[in-house]
Structure 1
């Protein structure tokens, strides 16, 4: 009796009369997490070049740096291109704002484009660095 149960449960590999399983479409969404910025020190008006390089490197490694370099695509551009830019802009903006001090965050959080924030920070802090360098060089010559 036990042998009959075993033989009844086994299937023949050559049996082709088995109906295939009903195919169902499974839609998987792959939510991409934001970048981990825990290893980047918060920028608080010091060491701008170092902060800039670390931030840009992290953004570039994740393949979204084009939002900092290119303007937003026009409304008549390809939908996939617009979605890609919007995602990249969101990641870049989030990353930049998360690595700013509270005072700088308050100033730049109203900007909706990462490129605007990035360029404003570069403009402000490279001028300040140049001014500091001129002062140091002037003091050296004295």
Structure 2
């Protein structure tokens, strides 16, 4: 039977395993959690994090050797599980949790830290999204990309911004020089999806840049 250590070596040698470190802000918590749980499952030690994991009972008569092996395996799996959790933490998180010996306590504590951070961060990001303004003095598509980054971060915190809302928000946030084009989009009979409204805006911005170059270079 393959040991946990042998499983660990085999899994670590597979190129498809890419473990991101949990950053000090916890903003990548969901990605980190999913990847690490997959990794620990492949190592057959994820069961250590089960909050309902039963204690190994005292050995009955004639079971001493078997129970000793079970206890030894449990201890080895706990060490492996704890080590991999700590190895995927940023320096700030590592310093915070290195003194905790039980891997399940580390796991629960990190979730608690993330939940506490989330309570304030998601509200801040929502406020940032609503207050985001598109300016005439910068590339429109670059600014919209920054707006979509906020949407992506909100999704990490479990806050979904519907596609129709994103489309409406982008149109509503268009800068003053785009007022005429904004009216055109608002009155179009076309069903605007996020992808095609971005396509329309990209084409329009490129046309405006080309037109400006022609005017600037005119004799």
Query: Is the Cα contact below 8 Å between 2:4 and 2:45 reproduced in 1?
Result: no
Unaligned runs of 5+ in 2: 60-66, 132-219
Aligned partner of 2:44 in structure 1 is 63
Q: TM-score w.r.t. structure 2 length?
A: 0.45
5+ long unaligned stretches in structure 1? 1-28
The change in CA–CA distance for 1:141 and 1:102 in structure 2 (over 3 A counts) is: closer
Matches within 5 A, 1:1-142: 32-33=5-6, 34=8, 36=12, 39-45=18-24, 46-70=27-51, 71=53, 73=55, 76=58, 78-140=67-129
Runs of 4+ with deviation above 3 angstroms? 138-142
Alpha-carbon spacing, 1:61–1:30, altered in 2? closer, same or farther (3 Å) = closer
- Partners of 1:73 and 1:81 within 8 A in 2: no
For this pair of structures, how many residues does the alignment match?
Answer: 114
Shift of 1:121: 0.2
Higher helix share: 2
Q: Which has the higher contact order (CA 8 A, sep 6+)?
A: 1
What TM-score results when the alignment is normalised by the length of structure 1? 0.66
**Equivalent in the alignment of 2:63:** none
